[in-house]
């Protein structure tokens, strides 16, 4: 798309459309979609994540009842004026693949095989034109994408899917859809050590990445990850994240979410917390583990714009509610409600795991990144950025470096290829280490795009299926 005259946002959106066809277990028009982009004049974002229905929560444990208003349709509408190419041009490759067929990825087929028998599985297989070992064609999705290309309102397509979703147990109504509109908004902004960072506004947890960077502070952020103080830097980053994660307990619709953001991005408070950092592991807040299905893409164009786009149905195949005629699968984002400020309630948006970060560095470097990995998204982006700040000319090293993941209390998951000296130091400080395999998929799979002086670069993680293309 960039070769055709499009920009970074165009490229990200075209990739998103393709994944709607190739990865219906992970993303689609029935899910949420966040985009964040930046050029030399400023940054903008859309946080497409809708609220719960008016009749929420439902009774029982029907997964379809966890469907929330999808944010992707109105996010797409909001993004159209910011594109350089016609929407039909961005949709054309995905339409061709849906019509001509593709080889289904083994991972998706394994997820399909684990689905319980029933209407959703039967309807999905019936909507596909597929036989084992043959290309999978999806006429219904091709038709939906063609209608988008012709200018139909994306929300009308979702409205058309509502009867099928409701027959599966979803609580959504047309009135719920009409009550929500994603809009272009100013992203969160934070400056530290000469870098400027942007992250998605509420209810994204991007604020946790920004807050942890601010709390860690310039000295630790600029310390080389493989230098003499590498172990101490790792400890400092872990403790900074723990402190920020504790504040997230108050980040929800039932509290003053804006006040939580202001608290996390308060430089004076961050300095005080940094000064109180001790040499030993602190007791962190408990963490509820969840593993959703997320797809992320980043792009940079020759004009200097960078973009990160991340979208998701939440868990595999979302709410398992399908409209065969349109191919639209409902999300199950209601599963990310928890308790307290984030407790289930009607007409509310839960705290959201989707995170995108854009940065402007001294010397003109501009970059965008993100990753799947549920709660680990904030921790992975934190670690990659902290490595980049020390060595901005080596993004591959930052992306491939061994990672840690806080999982509650004093327990830290660590990849087994982390240097023994760092592991020993963390253990001596009281961190309880849980070894994970090297290149562990639980630690996410970053895609990062950057540009400086008109030269762009791309970096992709090998922990999951990812691809980097420099054009």
Q: Model pTM?
A: 0.97
Residue where the block lists tokens 């000295």: 219
Rounded to whole angstroms, how far apart are CA atoms 441 and 433?
A: 17
Q: How far is CA 447 from the centre of its chain?
A: 11
Which of these, 7, 75, 422, lies nearest to 229 by C-alpha position?
422
Phi, psi (deg, nearest 5) at residue 269: -65, -40
Q: What pLDDT, on a 0 to 100 scale, did the predictor assign at position 431? A: 99
Share of the chain residues as helix, strand and coil, in percent rounded to the nearest 5 = 40, 20, 40
Q: What pLDDT, on a 0 to 100 scale, did the predictor assign at position 5? A: 95
| pLDDT at residue 59 greater than cutoff 80 | no
Phi, psi (deg, nearest 5) at residue 193: 55, 35
pLDDT tens for each residue of 244-275: 999 999 999 999 999 999 999 999 999 999 99
Domains of the chain listed by start with CATH number: 8-184+294-342 (no CATH), 190-290+355-460 (3.60.20)
Contact yes or no for 157/358 (Cβ under 8 A)? no
Which of these, 48, 45, 91, lies nearest to 72 by C-alpha position?
48
Question: At 36, is the pLDDT very low, low, confident or very high (cuts 50, 70, 90)?
Answer: very high
| pLDDT at residue 119 greater than cutoff 90 | yes
How many helices (H) and strands (E) would you count in the chain? 15, 18
DSSP strand pairing (356-360 vs 184-185): unpaired
| pLDDT at residue 471 greater than cutoff 70 | no
Q: What pLDDT, on a 0 to 100 scale, did the predictor assign at position 468? A: 85
Rounded to whole angstroms, how far apart are CA atoms 382 and 189?
A: 15
Which of these, 245, 330, 248, lies nearest to 283 by C-alpha position?
245
Cis? peptide before 180, omega within 30° of 0: no
């Amino acid at each position: 798309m960039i070769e055709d005259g499009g920009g970074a946002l165009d490229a990200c959106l075209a990739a998103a459309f393709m994944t709607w066809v190739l990865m219906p277990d992970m993303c689609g028009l029935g899910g949420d979609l966040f985009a964040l982009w930046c050029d030399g004049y400023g940054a903008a974002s859309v946080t497409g994540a809708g609220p719960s229905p008016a009749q929420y929560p439902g009774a029982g444990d029907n997964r379809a009842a966890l469907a929330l208003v999808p944010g992707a349709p109105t996010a797409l509408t909001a993004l159209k004026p910011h594109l350089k190419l016609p929407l039909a041009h961005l949709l054309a490759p995905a339409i061709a693949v849906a019509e001509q067929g593709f080889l289904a990825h083994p991972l998706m087929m394994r997820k399909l095989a684990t689905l319980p028998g029933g209407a959703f599985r039967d309807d999905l297989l019936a909507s596909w034109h597929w036989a084992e070992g043959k290309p999978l064609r999806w006429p219904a999705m091709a038709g939906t994408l063609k209608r988008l290309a012709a200018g139909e309102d994306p929300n009308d397509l979702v409205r058309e899917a509502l009867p099928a979703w409701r027959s599966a147990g979803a609580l959504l109504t047309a009135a719920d859809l009409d009550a929500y509109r994603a809009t272009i908004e100013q992203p969160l902004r934070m400056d530290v050590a000469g870098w400027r960072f942007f992250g998605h506004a509420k209810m994204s947890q991007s604020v946790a990445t920004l807050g942890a960077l601010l709390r860690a502070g310039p000295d630790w952020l600029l310390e080389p990850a493989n230098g003499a103080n590498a172990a101490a830097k790792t400890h400092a980053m872990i403790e900074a994240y723990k402190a920020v994660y504790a504040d997230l307990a108050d980040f929800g619709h039932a509290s003053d979410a804006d006040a939580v953001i202001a608290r996390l991005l308060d430089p004076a408070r961050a300095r005080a917390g940094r000064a109180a950092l001790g040499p030993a592991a602190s007791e962190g807040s408990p963490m509820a583990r969840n593993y959703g299905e997320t797809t992320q893409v980043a792009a940079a164009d020759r004009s200097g714009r960078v973009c990160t786009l991340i979208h998701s149905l939440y868990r595999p195949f979302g709410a398992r509610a399908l409209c065969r005629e349109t191919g639209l699968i409902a999300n199950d984002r209601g599963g990310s409600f928890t308790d307290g400020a984030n407790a289930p309630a009607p007409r509310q948006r839960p705290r959201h795991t989707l995170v995108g970060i854009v940065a402007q560095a001294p010397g003109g470097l501009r970059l965008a990144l993100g990753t799947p990995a549920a709660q680990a998204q904030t921790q992975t982006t934190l670690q990659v950025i902290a490595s980049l700040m020390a060595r901005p000319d080596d993004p591959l090293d930052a992306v491939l470096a061994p990672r840690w993941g806080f999982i509650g209390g004093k327990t830290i998951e660590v990849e087994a290829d982390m240097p023994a000296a760092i592991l020993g130091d963390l253990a001596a400080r009281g961190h309880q280490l849980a070894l994970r395999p090297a290149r562990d998929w639980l630690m996410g799979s970053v895609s990062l795009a950057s540009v400086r002086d008109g030269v762009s670069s791309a970096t992709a993680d090998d922990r999951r299926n990812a691809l980097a293309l420099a054009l």
